[in-house]
Amino acid sequence: MLKGIATSASAFEQFHAPAVASLMVSSLSPAERDELAAPLQNPDLSRNWSTDTSRSSLVQTILDRLQSLRTDG
């Protein structure tokens, strides 16, 4: 999943890798959540999905959930 987020070439991959990540967020360990957040927050990678609202919205939802899990414990 992380490789799909970090190295996805097509719009299909750029949507589905984060979609899978979204389903898994709550079951990840804190270290895995940090590992997931890193590519999603990387400005070089975020250019890939910033022009598509469905992808950018999905990524923002994941980041919000990660932040919420961080603050909730």
> Tokens at residue 1, please?
């999943």
What was the pLDDT predicted at 73?
62
What was the pLDDT predicted at 21?
93
Q: Which residue type does 52 have? A: D
What was the pLDDT predicted at 2?
80
- What does the pLDDT look like over 23-43, one tens digit per residue? 999 999 999 999 999 999 988
- In this prediction, the residues of the chain whose per-residue pLDDT falls under 50 are none
What was the pLDDT predicted at 72?
80
Contacts of 23 (CB under 8 A, 6+ apart): none
Domain ranges of the chain: 2-72
What is this structure's pTM? 0.84
